[in-house]
């Protein structure tokens, strides 16, 4: 795909816009990826370029499909792992996905478990 077509892609432009605002905040980033069957979340330190904590609907602790209830469980599991790693506050990176449905359920699950954003 050419660079011009890539830059015109609305999903790419939306994700770039969201991430540029988050990186300016300087906080750790909770990044969400939603596929057709599963949902994945990770806490990323952009300054160091490392992933600190991950959770997904494929984890043995959850092992569910990609519905809203499973997304909430993923959010809770991620928040628990983040607290163990000493992470209290993050910036929520929804990427190109709207804050609705499974993405919203994951965010609310993480908030209920004590993660602040």
How long a stretch of residues is the chain? Answer: 117
Q: Is residue 117 part of a domain?
A: no
- For 16, what's the count of Cα atoms within 13 Å in the CB-facing half-sphere? 8
pTM of this prediction? 0.85
Residue 11 in any domain: the answer is yes
What pLDDT tens digit does each residue of the chain (117 aa) get?
577 777 788 888 888 888 887 777 889 999 999 999 999 999 999 889 999 999 999 998 888 777 999 999 999 999 999 999 999 999 999 988 999 999 999 999 999 999 998
Q: What is the pLDDT of residue 23?
A: 76
Beta bridge partners of 34: 39
Q: Distance between CA 37 and CA 29 in Å, rounded?
A: 23
Q: Show contacts of 58-65: CB within 8 Å, 24+ apart.
A: 65/37, 65/38
User: What confidence score (pLDDT) does residue 52 get?
Assistant: 97
Residue 77: the pLDDT is 97
Q: How many domains does the chain have?
A: 1
For 36, counting Cβ atoms within 10 Å of its Cβ (0-12 exposed, 13-18 middle, 19+ buried), the class is: exposed
Give the CATH number for residue 102: 3.30.420.100
């Amino acid at each position: 795909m050419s660079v011009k077509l890539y830059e015109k892609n609305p999903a790419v432009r939306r994700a770039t816009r969201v991430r540029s605002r988050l990186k300016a905040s300087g906080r750790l980033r909770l990044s969400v990826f939603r596929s057709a069957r599963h949902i994945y979340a990770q806490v990323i330190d952009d300054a160091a370029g490392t992933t600190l904590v991950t959770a997904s609907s494929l984890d043995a602790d959850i092992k569910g499909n990609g519905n809203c209830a499973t997304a909430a469980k993923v959010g809770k599991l991620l928040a628990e792992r983040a607290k163990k790693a000493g992470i209290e506050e993050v910036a929520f990176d929804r990427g190109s996905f709207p804050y609705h449905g499974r993405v919203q359920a994951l965010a609310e699950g993480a908030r209920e478990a004590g993660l602040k954003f």
